[in-house]
Structure 1
Amino acid sequence: MGSPPHGKIPVQAKSPLMLEESHLMVILKGRIKKLATKMVITSGNEEDKGSQEKESKEETILAMLGIIGTILNLIVIIFVYIYTTL
């Protein structure tokens, strides 16, 4: 029995564990291909970048307004507490 062509192991020489591993590899490769087709890489053009920057600024403004509102509410609560305890 000579060496197998291209370094492949003949099917008869493979153990059941090796067959199971190769089966799992086929399944994993199929799932990776499905995942790769679902993932879309976008480079983004100038319009997208402009709208993203605008949204980022809007989110920053809203976050600042939320913080200011929270601080004002705390000040009101403190004044009301002081007024009611006197």
Structure 2
Amino acid sequence: MPKSNTQIAMQSLINQIKATIPLNLAEAQLCQGQCLGCSKKMLEMLDAEISYWQFSDVIPSLKDLKHLENIGQRTYKILKRNHLLS
């Protein structure tokens, strides 16, 4: 069965997120000093979403793509704000 355009777009988005956001930061790194938004919870939520889409047979909709993109952007902003990204 050929992949749909949204499946290809979802995989591309996942690859982009994985290249930009370190999903495997240690809890000791995440929870140090002042916290401006919970990096740990955002990373867990993002990782769960990515895992779902990587192992699901569901064809993603444009809404699903936008949802994952939004979670990725929010996670990136929080990690940046908490000085966990350069």
Q: Same fold (TM over 0.5)?
A: no
* More helix per residue: 1
Q: Which has the higher contact order (CA 8 A, sep 6+)?
A: 2
TM-score normalised per structure 1: 0.31
